[in-house]
Amino acid sequence: MIQFSAQQIAMMIQGKVEGDASVAVSQFGKIEEATAGQISFLANPKYEEFLYQTKASIIIINDSLVLKNPIAATLIRVPDAYAAFATLLTKYQELKTQNLTGIQTPSYISSSAKLGDNHFVAAFAHIGDNVTTGEHVKIFPNVVIGENVKIGNNVILHPGVVIYADCVLGNNITIHSGSIIGGDGFGFAPKADGSFQKVPQLGNVIIEDDVEIGSNTTIDRATIGSTIIRKGVKLDNLIQVAHNVEVGENTVIAAQTGLSGSTKVGKGVMMGGQAGTAGHLSIADGVKVAARSGITKTITQANSTITGFPAAEHSTALRAQIHMKNLPNLEKRVKELEILVAQLSQKG
C-alpha cells in the first residue's frame, strides 16, 4: 500500500498546504464518506456541507474557497481541485503499474515479436508474429495481439482486449477490458439471388497518441485504408466505430453511441450517450451532439449543438418538440373549426 504525506501530495499537484503537512494517507475517499487515512477533494459547491463533517485526513480544495467553519483536516489549496485530484489519481495509477514487469506463464510470445524495455506480459496473453511494442507496455491476462501489430510507449491493454492483425497504436494509450480493435467491418454485397457476398476487409485501425477506450468498445478495420482514431480521443464503454470512420482530435463520445461506416467526426466534438450517425457523412469541429440524437445528414456548422431525430439545431429541435406537445390541442381546434365551417355553409 502506497502512503504519502500532505507535503508530498502538494508537491505532486503544485498545491499549498494548510494544516499539518506531515499527515499521511494511503487511500482515496468520497468527501461524504471518507475516513481517517484517506484523501478527498471538493470541487462541486453542492458538497460543501460535507467539508465540515468529513473525517478525511487531507482534502484538496480550490484556492477561491472561503471557509465558513473550522476544519480538522489538512487542506491543500490548488487553482482547480477537480483537475488536481485527477492528476493525483493518474500518478497513483502509474505508481501501481510501473513495478509490473516481466513475463508470466503460461503466455505465448512469437519468436519474431520485439518487446520494448520494462514490458509486462501477464499469463494467458498471446502475442503474434512480428509484433513490436515500445517501452512500458502493460499487457494483462487474455489479451490477444495479432501479427504485425505496432504498439508505442506507455500503453496499457486491460484483460480481454483483442488487437487484430496490422493495427497501429501510438503512445500513452489505455484500452479497457473486452474491447476489440480491428475486427472486420460490416461489408456485404447483395447478390441477384437475395443472398449477400462478404466484402473482404483489408485495411486496419490506427489509434494515435493519448487515446483512452472504454470496455467492450469495438473499432472495425477499414475495407481499404484505415479507420483512424486521432490524438486525444476519449471513447466510453460500448461504442461501435464502423469501418473507415475517422474521429478527430480531442473528441469525446459517451456510451452506446454508434458511428456508421465512413463517418468523419471533426475535432473537439462531444457526443452524448446512444447517439448515432448514418454512414458517409461529416460532423464539423466542436459540434455538441445531445444524447440519443440521430444524425442523418452532414453537420457543417462548427461549434453548433444538435439534438433529436432526425438531429437538428438545438433551438429548432426544441421548438419542434413544443409544437409536438401542442398537436392534440391543435387537432381539437381544427375539428371545431371544421364543424363551424360546416354549420356556416349550411346557413349560407
Alpha-carbon span 48 to 34, nearest angstrom: 14
314 is catalytic: no
Taking a C-beta distance cutoff of 8 angstroms, is the pair 313, 306 a contact? yes
The residues that bridge with 301 in the sheet, in sequence order, are none
Cα–Cα distance between 233 and 257 in angstroms, integer? 14
DSSP 240: E
Cis peptide before 159 (omega within 30 of 0): no
Edge-first strand listing for the sheet containing 126-127: 108-109, 126-127, 144-145, 162-163, 180-183, 218-220, 240-241, 258-259, 276-277, 294-295
Measured between alpha carbons, how far is residue 13 from residues 86, 125, 194, 226, 230 in Å?
10, 36, 63, 39, 28
Phi, psi angles (nearest 5°) of residue 151: -130, 135
DSSP state of 315: H
| Annotated active-site residue in 176, 243, 314, 323 | 243
Neighbouring CB atoms inside 10 A of 114's CB total 11
Catalytic residue numbers, as ranges: 243
